[in-house]
Amino acid sequence: MEITLDTRPLVKIEAEALVTYLFEEVKSFSGALAELDAATGGTLSKLIASGELTGKMLETTLLHYPQGLAAQRLLVVGAGKKDKFGTAELRRLAGAAVRTLKSRQVKRVTFLASENDRSAAGAQAIVEGMILANFDSEKYKTDKKPGNEIMAAALAGWSESSRAEAALGLSRGRVIAESQNFARELGNEPSNRLTPRMLADRAAAMAREAGLAVEVFDEAKIAELKMGALLSVAQGSVEPPRMIIITYTPEKLNPGAPVLGLVGKAITFDTGGISIKPANDMEKMKYDMCGGAAMIGAMRAIAALKPSCKVIAVVPSSENMPGGRAQKPGDVQFSMAGKSIEVINTDAEGRLILADGIAYAKQLGCTHLVDAATLTGAVVVALGNVNIGVFGSDQTFTDQLLASGKAAGEKMWPLPVDDDYRENIKSGIADIQNVGSGKGGGAITAAMFLKEFTGDTPWIHLDIAGTAWQDDVKPWNAKGATGVAVRSLVDLAMKFGSNGSSAK
């Protein structure tokens, strides 16, 4: 979708559809809405008076050939209560507009921002909302209708003097949303079309195009590095594992500057291994690489937005299969860090591959770590499909990420990292075991397991098992992989860099 700025007077805009929005319980119009109402001979006022137009969140009212306007359609989207409205609502609203119009074969839209939203952040949210909404995964449909998408969009409302703000938000929004869509594409791929080798190829192609350094380790190199935890998961499959490392280095790199490490779980299919999962819903486990996809997607945006800190993504990738060579419950493995692990349940494989990913990120010099993983069903029980579960070992760093989540419109909820839970992962035979022995708290014991490998490096774990996949279509986006965490991670990297200092 091509996106431009349109600073012409409203009534002169010749779009196929002009989009505006309206709060609940407005009594009188001002600004752009007043202008549109006047130009259309009071149509909006009349619709409000009749009760058809209420401004309720995401209500859509479509007017065809509105008199007095050059646009062929005027779409009015409800913005809900004014005091509850922020960039997150604006992003969704812009998305809902795009999906409403694209289902009606509209190809060109102009989105008119309200006075309050004419900032860089406002433009960014609108553009993100539109690009994310325009995404549909039709790749494997043989009867897909060609071009069922919005081809061109414009932002209106900004004046010539505020053009620079709008342009900044537009370009940021575009690169971030396109990167999130890249992560969604990967997440939607079936496991036969995205093995660890194929994921590595796609990540490497992206990195080369974006101007990032990339390295892919094959099973021989992984063995040489003694990544025994990753290898133990991969040994049950005929598909070999990969370790993907993507590095962004800023032009001016101060010695001793902090380095952000992004470690993502990329199990391209999780059968559970010998501790096999039930058949019901197992097909969804193709999404078990969404943590890795989020990191790869974030790197794509980071390459374009150029934060001032170095960022390294480390993505261990494997299948988790119950083949003849598969590891078995009770097996003991040695991780790269040297710690021994008793594998009680082969379905708790994400934490195994992350253990080696975290150890390697530290070896590469990362001073701060964030991992993202579809790690536990328990986080879905705790937080449903709304909030990412956040575990942090360093409050200052965690607060920065939570602030980025807010800014990016991705909901996150902190859960405890507490040494009392460590008891639950003590093993009788090895240093630790890969599942908690007590009842409940499965998302927490998983985090405690990961923490064992972080040492004193500030670290945040994002359990995205509940948020990386959407079962149903929403008014503002398609169902399937969500690309969650990409926006927050990019925001974090930008701020982490711009401070010129670490979180501490």
As annotated, the active-site residues are 277, 351
C-alpha atoms less than 13 angstroms from C-alpha of 35 in its C-beta half-sphere: 13
Residue 40 contact partner, candidates Zn ion, ligand BES, none, CB within 5 to 8 A by sort of partner: none
345 binds ligand BES (CB under 6 A): yes
The one among 66, 236, 442, 458 contacting ligand BES by CB under 6 A: 442
**In the complex, residue closest to ligand BES by CB:** 377
352 binds ligand BES (CB under 6 A): no
Q: Which is nearer to Zn ion, 319 or 347 (CB)?
A: 347
Query: Least separation, in Å, of the C-beta of 387 and ligand BES?
Result: 15
Query: Least separation, in Å, of the C-beta of 236 and ligand BES?
Result: 13
Query: Least separation, in Å, of the C-beta of 244 and ligand BES?
Result: 19
Residues 6+ apart with CB under 8 A from 103: none
Query: Least separation, in Å, of the C-beta of 269 and Zn ion?
Result: 9
- DSSP run (H or E) holding 487: helix 486-498
Residue 376 contact partner, candidates Zn ion, ligand BES, none, CB within 5 to 8 A by sort of partner: ligand BES
441 binds ligand BES (CB under 6 A): no
Site string for ligand BES, 33-72 (x = CB under 6 A): ----------------------------------------
Distance CA 177, CA 125 (A): 9
427 binds ligand BES (CB under 6 A): no
**H, E, C per residue of 120-181:** HHHHHHHHHHHHHHCCCCCCCCCCCCCCCCCCEEEEECCCHHHHHHHHHHHHHHHHHHHHHH
Q: How far is residue 355 from each of residues 222, 276, 338, 440, measured CA to CA in Å?
A: 13, 22, 11, 22
What are the φ and ψ backbone dihedral angles of 492, each rounded to 5 degrees? -60, -45
Distance CA 328, CA 59 (A): 54
Beta pairing, strands 459-463 & 388-392: antiparallel
Distance CA 108, CA 93 (A): 17
322 binds ligand BES (CB under 6 A): no
232 binds ligand BES (CB under 6 A): no
**Beta-strand runs (E) in 398-487:** 412-414, 432-433, 459-463, 469-470, 480-481
Interactions with ligand BES, residue window 287-316 (CB under 6 A): 288
The one among 189, 239, 347, 356 contacting Zn ion by CB under 5 A: 347
Query: Least separation, in Å, of the C-beta of 188 and ligand BES?
Result: 16
Query: Least separation, in Å, of the C-beta of 194 and ligand BES?
Result: 16
288 binds Zn ion (CB under 5 A): yes
Stretch that binds Zn ion, among 23-31, 86-94, 172-180, 264-272 (CB under 5 A): 264-272
Interactions with ligand BES, residue window 446-475 (CB under 6 A): 465
Helices (H), 189-269: 196-210, 219-224, 228-234
Contact in structure between 472 and 479 (CB atoms under 8 Å): yes
Q: Which is nearer to ligand BES, 57 or 227 (CB)?
A: 227
Q: Which is nearer to ligand BES, 122 or 236 (CB)?
A: 236
Interactions with ligand BES, residue window 363-392 (CB under 6 A): 374-378, 380
Distance CA 33, CA 320 (A): 55
Q: Which is nearer to ligand BES, 465 or 494 (CB)?
A: 465
Residues 6+ apart with CB under 8 A from 473: 479
The one among 349, 371, 394, 452 contacting ligand BES by CB under 6 A: 349
Query: Least separation, in Å, of the C-beta of 432 and ligand BES?
Result: 13
Alpha-carbon 79 to chain mean position:
24
350 binds Zn ion (CB under 5 A): yes
- For residue 13, which amino acid is it? I
Residues 6+ apart with CB under 8 A from 312: 245, 246, 247, 248, 259, 260, 261, 262, 361, 364, 365, 366
Query: Least separation, in Å, of the C-beta of 470 and ligand BES?
Result: 13
Residues in touch with Zn ion (CB under 5 A): 267, 270, 288, 347, 349-350
Residues in touch with ligand BES (CB under 6 A): 270, 288, 345, 347-350, 374-378, 380, 435, 442, 465
